[in-house]
Amino acid sequence: MGRILFFVVIASALYFGWRMWRVKQIQENPQKDRTPHPITKTPGHKMVQCDHCGLYLDEAEAIRKDGHYYCCKQHMIAGPKNNEN
C-alpha cells in the first residue's frame, strides 16, 4: 500500500510540474500558441427556385428558359406551375 501511494505522489508531482511549466510557456509566448486560423472566404452562390416544383438549387446548376429557372429538363418542358393554395 505504501508503494502505491508513493507512485501516486510522484506521478502527481510530475503532472503538476509539467502543468506549471506549460502555463509559464503560454504566458511568455501568447501569440505563438494562440494564433487564429486564417479564414478563407469562398464566394457565395446565388440560390434560385424551380418555377415548377419549388426546389431551391444553385443558379449555376439550374436550367433557365424565358426568365424562369428549372431543376431538370422535364420541369422545363412542363413549364411554370401555378401554386394556388
Residue extents of the structural domains in the chain: 2-33, 47-78
The pTM is what?
A: 0.46
Contact 54, 71 (CB under 8 A): no
pLDDT means per 10 residues, the chain with 85 residues, are 92 96 83 63 82 92 92 92 57
So what's the pLDDT on residue 10?
96
So what's the pLDDT on residue 69?
94
pLDDT per position as a tens digit, 44-66: 788 999 999 999 999 999 999 99
So what's the pLDDT on residue 1?
82
So what's the pLDDT on residue 41?
67
Cα 1 from chain centroid?
51
Residue with cell string 412542363: 78
Radius of gyration of the chain (CA): 32
